[in-house]
Each structure stands twice: as C-alpha cells, then as structure tokens.
Amino acid sequence: MKLELAELAECLHLPLYTVERWIRQGRMPARKTGSQCVFKRVVLEKWAEKHDITFTLNEDHATPKGHDDKDGLLAALKRGGLHYNVTGDSVDEALQQAVSCIPDFSDDERSLLLTKLLEREKLTSTGIGKGVAIPHPRSPLPGKERPALICTCFLKNKIDFKAIDDKTVSVMFVIVCPTVTTHLHLLSRISYCLRNDSFVTSLNKPLSPDEFFQKIEEFEEQLEKAR
C-alpha cells in the first residue's frame, strides 16, 4: 500500500515527525519514497498491535455516529411535540399524563420512563423556577437508542412542583436523551432560552407551535452566533 506520510501519521494517531523518524530508524515496517511511504497493510497492522498503537485506515473512519444527535434544541423539541391542556393535580399525575403524550413509545418504555422520572423527582425537584419544570431521568433509558426528544407540556392546572422559587408550575419540558452528553447539551440550551424573561412569561399562556418553534429558532441562532 502507498500512503502520504501525513495520512499514515493520522492513521496511526502519531505526530508526523515520529512516523518519519521511526521509518528512518527502521522501527516500523514501512519504507519512505519521497513524501510517500510504502507498506504492507497486514504487516503494519500486526506491528501496531504488538506495540499497542492504534491503527485505523482512513476508509474505516465511519462518520462518528454521535454527530447527528447533537443537532440542536429545535429538532428535539419538534420530535417531542407540543401538548396542550395536560391534566393532573399532583406531580405524579402530571408526569403520568406527560409520559403518555410522548410519541412512538411502547407501554413498557412509558412505564419505565415514568418510574425513572419519579425517582429523579424524589431527589430534588426539577422545578427550576418561573413556573417551569424540566423533568428528566437521571440516566439514559436502556434498550433501543432513540434520537433525543423534548416533550413540551402546557398544564391545564398549575401544580405545586416544590420548585426552588415556590411558584406553581405551568409548563413542563420532559427531556429524554440517548446519551448524557446530549442531555447536558440540550439542558444548557434550554436553560439559555429560559433565562430570557419575556420568553418565560409568554409561556404562561399556551403558545401555538409555529410561534413557539420560531422563538426557539431565534434563540438557537443567537447561540450559534456567540460561538
């Protein structure tokens, strides 16, 4: 096989200088011709294994799969959907109703999610003040991996969530994520939106999906710009 020196260095996850030197010193089963190096793939793989060096050829590099589930708040919100007039007078009831709103979940999954949400709620309340709560399980759900979703529920009756500012809660964002990193990513984004007071007050009366998504889109754009 023939590869550019720099490409080979990348495959071996080593600095270019190191690869160049190793070839010169004869520590690596490869030869240099000009700026390219020639080697037998099998031999080099064997060598890499013996020396505890990772060797991945470029074509094996599948696009990292965790990539698309970071695609942002808007997509997750759309996946979860908006739900109005969610009933329930206590936290447990409201959560049960909210879980039943989540699209594409089997009954088993719903009950599992509910127990997990309640467990989390027992720890400390997810009511983050200003009439908003963000119930979420502490760890990702086992089983089939799903893209992240956030289910937005406008409650029919305001309920006491034991929130930090003791205000009653009228909106819940139920966050369900496949990985912890996505979870944190979405959490930070949603909390950015909720820091905006006018947005929070507008949430007090149910928004139409179009209005809601448009606002979220604006926020996301702001965030991207700040980057």
Partner 1 sequence: METKLLHIFRNTPLGRETLLQSIYFCNITRSSMVIYIPEYTKFLMYFDNDVVQVDLDPSYLLYPETSRTHALDLTKAHGIDASFFEPRQFTASTLPDIPVDFDFMCSPRSISDLSSKISLGHIGTRVRRIIKTAQFPVLLTSPCYKEWTSILVFFGGSVNSVKAVRLGLHISRLTGLPLDLFTQVEGSQTMDDYKDRLKQAGLEADFDKRVRDWKVFADNGFEENLYHVPHQALAVLGAYGHGLVKDILFGSKMEVIQSVLSNNLLIVGPRYSAKG
Partner 2 sequence: MKRFISWRVPTKWPVFRLDDRLLLIISGMIVGILSGLAAFALNRSLVFCLDFLHSYRAYWWAFILPAGGAALSSLFLSRVVNEGAGHGIPEVIYAVSRYGGLIRLRSSFSRLVSSCLTIGSGGSAGPEAPVVMSGAAIGSNIARFFSFNDRQRVTLVGCGAAGAISSIFNAPIAGLVFVLEVILGEWSTVNIVPIAVASVAGTEVSRLLAGNQIAFSHHTFHISFHDILACAGLAVVTAFMSVILTRLLRHMHHASDKTKLPIWAKAAVGGCAVGLLGFFVPDVMGEGYHSIRNMIEGVYEQGMTIAVVACFAKVLATSLTLGWGGSGGIFAPSLVVGSFSGLAYHRFLVYFFPSVPWVGEGCYALLGMAGFIGGILQAPLTGIFLIVEITGGYEVILPLIIISSLSATICYYFESASFYMKDLVERGQLLRPGTDARVLSDLSISELLEKDCISVPPSMSLREFVGLITRSRRNYFPVEDPETKEFLGLVKFDDIRPYLFNSMMYDAVFVEQIMDTHVAVARYGEDLSDVLRIMDSRGLFSMPVLANKRFVGMISKATLLDQYRKELMVQTYQG
Between 4 and 89, CB nearer to partner 2: 4
Q: How many residues interact with partner 1 (rule CB under 8 A)?
A: 3
**Cβ at position 130, least distance to partner 2 in Å:** 20
Regarding 142 and contact with partner 1 (CB under 8 A), the answer is no
Regarding 66 and contact with partner 2 (CB under 8 A), the answer is no
Q: How many residues interact with partner 2 (rule CB under 8 A)?
A: 19
Task: Please identify which residue in 15, 66, 103, 143 interacts with partner 2, judged by CB under 8 A.
Answer: 15
Pair 148, 186: CB distance under 8 Å: yes
Q: What angle do CA 62, 63, 69 make, to 5 degrees?
A: 135
Residue 136 annotated to the active site: yes
Burial environment of residue 83 by CB neighbours within 10 A (0 to 12, 13 to 18, 19 or more): buried
Which residue stretch of 48-56, 113-121, 204-212, 214-222 sits at the interface with partner 2 (rule: CB under 8 A)? 48-56
CA dist 35 and 12 (Å) reads 17
Closest CA to 190 of 159, 165, 215: 215
CA dist 133 and 127 (Å) reads 4
Task: Please identify which residue in 1, 2, 4, 24 interacts with partner 1, judged by CB under 8 A.
Answer: 24
Closest CA to 203 of 77, 102, 118, 95: 77
Regarding 133 and contact with partner 2 (CB under 8 A), the answer is no
- Collapsing DSSP to helix, strand or coil, 186 comes out as helix
- Which residue out of 13, 61, 136, 185 is catalytically annotated? 136
Which residues are known catalytic residues?
A: 136
Q: Which residues bind partner 1 (CB under 8 A)?
A: 24, 34-35
Q: Which residues bind partner 2 (CB under 8 A)?
A: 14-15, 17-18, 21-28, 31, 50-53, 226-227
